[in-house]
Structure formats: structure tokens, C-alpha cells
Amino acid sequence: MTSNVVSRLELPALATNVASRSGSLGERLDLVGHVKVKLTVTIGGAEISIDKLFSLGSDDVIVLDREADAPADIRLNDKVIARGILVAVGDKFGVRITEIQNEA
């Protein structure tokens, strides 16, 4: 029988005072500023068999393909636009952006 070791991950608290960044995104941001987009944050993935998937139960652990301290990918329409670290915002998760991808 195998043993899984799960460690509690301590996340830094995030200050919610965000300074205004107007001007850095262009002069005509007001034309599209109201449009909502869906961002997805990916912390890793795993490939398992259907048998394993249906045998999962409470307290089972799925090991992801990334290190615990690896940055999370921030995606817009499945394209990585930035990377960041997970933080705690009250009782929710957040992502502190550490890297913005260059346009390609």
C-alpha cells in the first residue's frame, strides 16, 4: 500500500489596496473597459486513467505535474497572458501577478 503525504500550503495575505494604473493601458481603454472577459488560473494538471478517475474518493490526492512553488498560469481564451503566485485574500484564493507575457 502506498502512502500519500500532503502538506498544508501557507499562502501570503494579499493587500487589497490597488493603485490606479490609468494611462498605462492606452488612452482609449474607455471604449472597451466595460467588456467582461473570463480568466482562468491553472496550477497544474494530471493524466489519469478512467478507472482511477472513477475510483477516486474523499481524501484521495491527485498529484499535479508542477512543483508546489511553481507559478500559476493566468490564461485568457486558453492563451497564457501572465504568471503569478497564489495568495490568500480573506477566505478566498487570489493570484499575485509576477510576470506578464510579451505579445507575440
Q: Return the pLDDT at 102.
A: 83
**CA triple 16-42-3, angle to 5 deg:** 110
pTM: 0.65
Per-residue pLDDT tens over the stretch 64-77: 999 988 999 999 99
Which of the pair, 26 or 89, is modelled with greater confidence?
A: 89
Is residue 11 in a domain? Answer: no
In a domain, 49, yes or no: yes
Structural domain of residue 88, as residue ranges? 35-100
If one counts the domains in the chain, the total is 1
Q: Domain with 40 in it: what CATH number?
A: 2.30.330.10
Average pLDDT over residues 44-50: 96
Query: Are 14 and 98 in contact, with CB atoms under 8 Å apart?
Result: no
Specify if 52 maps to a domain.
yes
- Asked, for residue 42, whether it belongs to a domain, the answer is yes
- Let me know if residue 13 belongs to a domain: no
Contact (Cβ atoms closer than 8 angstroms) between residue 85 and residue 3: no
* Residue 16 placed within a domain: no
